């Protein structure tokens, strides 16, 4: 079930949040701690105003809520609201024998016994769940995994506590995010969503239902994802999930915030992940875990796509082809023969190798000249310091591979003194914003522009082919865009 947390301060606001999300959710949590004092008097009537089951919750501040009164007044408020037709009431697991509990039992309102941990995970999480379930209540553990190993513990809940039918288990924060999407694989009866997040990692109900289709996950669903650190900003779920839906492939694509690649591969075996995209800083870190790699991965020393191939992991690099594809015609007809590559990081490695493999003369300029030198030696390119970029204004192609200009640094330009001329091609790898400051200057000079977002989509489509064996659905391609900046 997808549960919408209503975060309005008035009944009217909550009703409008409910109406906006009605088609995406199966039940709602009515948070009376977030209500204005004046609206609380009407709270018991709320379940009759909506046509879905309602959880009644009055969260205290220590559990992430906004209720500021005494425990006595909180208990009294909950008890009075329980005159209403609520399906569930959430009572924290340390509250013993309250009047609210007695009234809920009397009125056959199911009790959710919750525990919140915003800094870690209780070491006895399995025991706590079993103990609450033994009393006939629904255990709820909202915890904060601090590593992939903690996330593994959450995913073990499903098998270790298979006999506990009704339970709510979720991981908050970056590490916990996959447990919100894959809630069924964690063994949780529901996942929480909100228009305005009231806990770390919450997303909108529309995204949960339409992008992730989290409620359709079953035992046969193939799990894919992207691993990185940070990773939750990744655009890749917006490419892969609609593609899976477009070809009716029972699969889901989830971002995994990964501290240790080793732990991630343990998780991948445990929950049978079928493949992942790999982003910063793990493109090199995954190499020791791969049983098979392509020529490009070997040459570049960097892998951005991992797929399960029988009993081993296979690594490919789709950045390489995603980058070079739109240049091939101009390289073939010799319009592009020389290039200036700005940057010498991970992305630059794919770029320089691709250009060198196609016979382009390349000069690498980088802030850290040693890094430029070492990539240049490997690839038989030339190198110089970033400050000398201006000396290379005669080249046919300029490729910008640094993170300079990327949101929130969108006012910066890595080569502010470089003068573009109209017969040059300028390729920007940064994709947020679409038009960086540097690209805007190149546009004004009449250059041919190539965008980071288009490269991202091209490499994502190639990953989709590795994951599914099918081409990316053509009709979806035009929907793949970021908001214009
Ligand atoms: P990376 O390995 O961390 O390399 C970062 C590069 O940026 C290095 O050359 C670094 O220079 C340079 N840099 C960072 N801050 C700088 C500053 N203030 N001034 C000058 N240079 C600076 O990162 P990456 O993986 O190569 O990614 C770089 C960018 O490419 C990111 O914005 C990423 O989103 C983008 N990218 C896009 C795609 C796509 O499909 N469109 C694919 C891959 C990457 P130093 O060596 O001197 O530190």
- Altogether, the residues listed in the chain come to a count of 485
Cβ distance 191 to 214 under 8 Å? Answer: yes
Nearest CA to 398 out of 433, 366, 442 is that of: 442
Q: Quick one: which atom of ligand 1 is closest to the CA of 403?
A: 32
Distance CA 475, CA 463 (A): 18
Please tell me the residue having the least CA distance from ligand 1 atom 7: 402
pLDDT of residue 481: 66
Distance CA 101, CA 89 (A): 9
pLDDT of residue 478: 79
Residues with Cβ within 6 A of ligand 1? 280, 319, 322, 343-348, 366-368, 371, 386, 401-404, 406, 414, 429-431, 452, 455-456, 459
Structure token pair of residue 318: 């789709």
pLDDT of residue 484: 43
Residues in the chain with pLDDT < 70?
481-485
Going from the Cα of 257 to the center of ligand 1, the distance in angstroms, rounded, reads 20
DSSP 3-state of 166: coil
pLDDT of residue 480: 80
DSSP 3-state of 348: helix
Cβ distance 111 to 91 under 8 Å? Answer: yes
Q: Quick one: which atom of ligand 1 is closest to the CA of 280?
A: 25
Please tell me the residue having the least CA distance from ligand 1 atom 9: 343
- The residues carrying an active-site annotation are 283
Which of 282, 341, 347, 481 most suits a substitution to test ligand 1, by most atoms within 8 Å of the C-beta?
A: 347
Structure token pair of residue 74: 């909180």
pLDDT of residue 479: 81
Going from the Cα of 410 to the center of ligand 1, the distance in angstroms, rounded, reads 14
Q: Counting runs of H as helices and runs of E as strands, what totals does the chain give?
A: 18, 20
């Amino acid at each position: 079930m997808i549960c919408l947390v209503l975060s309005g301060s008035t009944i009217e606001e909550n009703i409008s949040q409910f109406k906006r999300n009605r088609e995406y959710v199966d039940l709602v949590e009515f948070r009376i701690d977030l209500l204005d004092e004046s609206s609380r008097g009407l709270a018991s009537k709320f379940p009759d105003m909506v046509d879905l089951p309602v959880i009644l919750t009055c969260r205290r501040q220590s559990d992430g809520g906004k209720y500021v009164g005494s425990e006595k007044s909180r208990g009294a408020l909950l008890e009075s609201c329980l005159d209403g037709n609520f399906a569930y009431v959430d009572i924290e697991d340390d509250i013993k024998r309250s009047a609210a509990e007695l009234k809920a039992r009397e009125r056959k309102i199911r009790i959710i016994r919750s525990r919140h941990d915003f800094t870690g995970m209780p070491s006895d999480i399995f025991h706590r769940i079993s103990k609450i379930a033994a009393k006939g209540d629904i255990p709820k553990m909202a915890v904060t995994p601090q590593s992939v190993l903690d996330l593994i513990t959450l995913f073990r809940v499903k098998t270790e506590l298979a006999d506990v039918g009704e339970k709510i288990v979720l991981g908050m924060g970056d590490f916990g995010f996959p447990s919100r999407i894959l809630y069924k694989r964690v063994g949780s009866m529901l996942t929480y969503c909100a228009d305005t997040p009231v806990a770390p990692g919450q997303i909108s109900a529309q995204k949960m239902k339409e992008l992730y289709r989290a409620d359709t996950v079953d035992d046969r669903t193939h799990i894919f994802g992207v691993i990185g650190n940070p990773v939750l900003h990744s655009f890749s779920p917006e490419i892969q999930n609609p593609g899976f839906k477009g070809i009716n492939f029972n699969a889901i694509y989830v971002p995994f915030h990964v501290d240790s690649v080793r732990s991630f591969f343990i998780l991948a075996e445990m929950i049978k992940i079928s493949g992942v995209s790999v982003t910063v800083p793990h493109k090199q870190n995954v190499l020791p875990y791969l049983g098979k790699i392509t020529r490009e991965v070997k040459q570049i020393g960097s892998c951005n796509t991992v797929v399960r191939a029988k009993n081993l992991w296979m690594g490919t690099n789709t950045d390489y082809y995603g980058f070079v594809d739109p240049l091939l015609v101009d390289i073939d007809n010799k319009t592009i023969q020389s290039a200036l590559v700005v940057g010498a990081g991970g992305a630059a490695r794919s770029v320089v190798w691709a250009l060198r493999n196609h016979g382009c003369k390349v000069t690498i300029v980088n802030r850290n000249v040693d890094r430029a030198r070492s990539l240049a030696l490997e690839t038989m390119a030339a190198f110089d310091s970033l400050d000398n970029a201006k000396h290379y204004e005669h080249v046919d192609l300029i490729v910008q591979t640094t993170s300079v200009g990327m949101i929130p640094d969108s006012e910066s330009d890595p080569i502010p003194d470089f003068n573009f001329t109209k017969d040059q091609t300028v390729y920007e790898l940064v994709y947020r914003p679409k038009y960086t400051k540097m690209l805007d200057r190149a546009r004004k000079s009449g250059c041919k522009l190539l965008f980071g977002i288009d490269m991202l989509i091209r490499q994502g489509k190639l990953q989709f082919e590795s994951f599914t064996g099918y081409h990316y659905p053509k009709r979806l391609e035009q929907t793949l865009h970021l908001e214009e900046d």
